[in-house]
Amino acid sequence: VSDHSNPLPHMFPSAEQFGRDVGGLGVSNADTVVIYDAGGWVAAPRAWWMFLSYGHRNVRILNGGLKKWRAEGRAVESGEVKPKPATFHASYDPKRVRSIEQMIANVESRKEQVIDARAAERFEGRAAEPRPGIRAGHIPGARNVPYSQLFDAATGEMRPLDDLRRSFTGAGVKLDAPIVTSCGSGVSAGVLTLALYRIGVTDTALYDGSWSEWGQASGPPIATGPA
């Protein structure tokens, strides 16, 4: 469910496409949507934020995902799923998403704090990016909170609220000031967005293009080293 005309990976689609694709999965505006992933906290938060961004507030995430579900001995099934199509009317809220133009302007104004979800070695520019042709480093002025710090890899559960709060404040993030989350391609940034939401910071935005856009050879200036 992404903009297939955009060369960047899995960018937000139009509201029309989101409604059509989600409706094709059998989801209607009247449904409570519960999202889970394999338990590594990568995909589910991104899908959750997309639903919120397209006007569907009745959406939840299963804490621990499929990993915890299986560990508890709960039933699973396999095979092809053929949902009955439904009608989903999407209404896009641009306040929840940031473009590269807005991010470039923010480097000058510093009105919004930028938090990067990538691992420290990638954020600091000590490790090469996995995507060919992408520079190493981070957006000038950004802070780093690796998304892997926010959940227990053994159980798949997100960490307690006090631990989440310490992860952000320990990185120098002011929880009472505007925040934009970012990552490699706009997916794991959703983990930060969800963690912030859980501790009461609900009005953040997500930089959709993230480092796959900013880090291109022709992209804006970058920074390296610790925040």
- Distance CA(213)–CA(76), nearest Å, equals 38
**Confidence (pLDDT) at 82:** 94
Which residues of the chain have a pLDDT value below 70? none
Contact yes or no for 23/88 (Cβ under 8 A)? yes
Contact yes or no for 64/39 (Cβ under 8 A)? yes
**Confidence (pLDDT) at 160:** 97
Task: Show the tokens assigned to 115.
Answer: 């938090």
**Confidence (pLDDT) at 42:** 84
In sequence order, what are the beta bridge partners of 35? 61
**Confidence (pLDDT) at 209:** 98
183 labelled catalytic: yes
**Confidence (pLDDT) at 90:** 98
Task: Show the tokens assigned to 12.
Answer: 């937000």
Read off the pLDDT of residues 123-169 as tens digits, 9 standing for 90 and up. 999 999 999 999 999 999 999 999 999 999 999 999 999 999 999 99
Which residues are CB-contacts of 37 (< 8 A; sequence separation ≥ 6)?
Answer: 43, 44, 65, 66
Contact yes or no for 18/43 (Cβ under 8 A)? no
Q: Which of 183, 187, 194, 206 is catalytic?
A: 183
pTM assigned to the model: 0.96
